[in-house]
Chain A
Amino acid sequence: MLASFAAAVSLIGTFDPEVIRILLLSLAVSGSAVLIGCVIGLPLGALVAVARFPGRQAVTVLLNAFMGLPAVVVGLIVYLLLSRSGPLGGLGLLFTPTAMVIAQTMLVTPLIAALTRQVIEDSDRELGESLRSLRLSRWQQARTLLFDARFSLVVAVLAAFGRAVSEVGAVLLVGGNIAGHTRTVTTAISLETQKGDLPLALALGILLIAVVIAVNAATTGVRAFSMRRYG
């Protein structure tokens, strides 16, 4: 273990362009999935929080349950959808980065929506009456509360990014771990582990963790600064 770790650390210094490309693909795929997840999940979660409609409780339960969707199951569903023999086979998307983005979007959207609903519901308890007294529409209320809670929502977005960039089950199934094309850091780790190259696998793992920490640190820094400003 210690020997692997030492070898891993020395490997990190000598990363070649292939590793950089793998890392960039991981970030691009998970980043895209999280952005699409935000465009869908933030308004969806906020609307569920401020709207009153029959079945709202059921929607909340579903969103919360879907936070824990097994990645490999989502991968399998997207695989069957995108396979040439599946309903969307004509698009020819299986084993492409786009397929990976689709799978990860399905993973993170419920997560973002569920966390957003919780955050906005708390925010609504504090501010909802004021906004309703100003006769804002549901959509205007949702938008205003999203803006108000933006610093708390950063945590939801980071959680989604962490989930996306660290999952292997879905991207492996729908991406195929094709060298130079759909190989991400996690599928590369999985491959190197299988080849018994544990130091390289560990080095990739350390790299991934370092990137995740850097993303979190940067975001948290910006968040702390803005929070101090807006109280």
Chain B
Amino acid sequence: MVVLPRRGLLSLAAALLFAAAAPNPARAQSETITVASTTSTEQSGLFGHLLPKFTEKTGVAVKVVALGTGQALDVGRRGDADVVFVHDKAAEEKFVGEGFGVKRQDVMYNDFVIVGPRSDPAKAAGKDVGEALRRIAGAKAPFISRGDRSGTHAAELRYWKAAGVEMETAKGGWYKEIGQGMGPALNTASASNAYALTDRGTWLSFKNRGDLAVLVEGDKALFNQYGVILVNPEKHAHVKARAGQSFIDWLVSPDGQKAIAGYRIEGEQLFFPNAAAGS
């Protein structure tokens, strides 16, 4: 008789599904939370450093979805994450103000730097951020913008405004918004010898630098504050409030702050803990 091996197929499918659903036997912890964070934090490798310490201490596993700050907050708004960990204070306060988050807490900062070609056609090296951006715009030197509503993008727009450069009118062929993450922005800058604003962490772990180098750094205005927020369980009942809060508590605790300070690439510290003690 002609009989398709249907039952065999189905059980194989079930087995594979099961394998897909539980690919990692180490993930047998009692609870798992989802954290929506930024590409810069994920790509710097910070989470790879922090999360094992946290999980070892509490038994709570953390899944990190890395997106732009704007997208990460959207994921929180939809209730698809328990915690958001991002860097755009104004947007974060709006998120809490709308009732999507319980409370915003400072965790740490890193700093932005302006990278550009070593030849520095705009003569921006060593200037403060305002002067550097004015020179880049004046020279119409190529500049790559994230253009993706991320925290870094928001910061970049603030810096242009503070520098007195009206982007609406100054925009031209030299200013390219690529609508992608930090890595693609740096790849593009590297490929076209352009200037770009980047967080130091992503820059330090970025390998495809080409002819790019850090030209502007150390200006107090380049300070980049990270905040952490528990998604409001009153908006989304399934939010794992207890486990999520334990992650936040650990981040701002002396233990967590020490772990953040301890993360280094090539000897350089990337993130500087500054949680308000006891807040």
Contact = CB atoms under 8 A, between A and B. Distances in A.
A and B touch in the complex (CB under 8 A): yes
Contact of B79 (A89, A97, A147): A89
B66 interface: yes
Nearest to A144: B2
Contact of B78 (A84, A176, A178): A84
Interface in A178-199: 178-182, 191, 193-198
Interface of B: 2, 4, 6, 9-10, 12-13, 16-17, 19-21, 23-24, 27, 34, 39, 43, 47-48, 63-66, 77-80, 180-184, 186-187, 190, 202, 205-209, 236, 238
Contacts of A208: none
A94 B183 CA distance: 25
Contacts, number: 116
Contacts of A24: 19, 23
A178 B34 CA distance: 9
A194 B17 contact: no
Interface residues of A, number: 43
Contacts of B2: 143-144, 147
B181 A194 contact: yes
Given A84-B80, A179-B48, A196 B20 contact: no
19 contacts: A24-B19, A31-B16, A32-B16, A32-B17, A35-B9, A39-B9, A84-B238, A95-B63, A95-B80, A97-B23, A98-B21, A100-B20, A176-B66, A179-B48, A180-B27, A193-B187, A194-B180, A195-B206, A197-B208
Nearest to B64: A178
Interface of A: 21, 24-25, 28-29, 31-32, 35-36, 38-39, 83-86, 89-90, 92, 94-98, 100-101, 143-144, 146-147, 176-182, 191, 193-198
Nearest to B22: A97
A96 B208 contact: no
A28 B12 CA distance: 11
B220 to A, nearest CB: 28
Contacts of B183: 191, 193-196
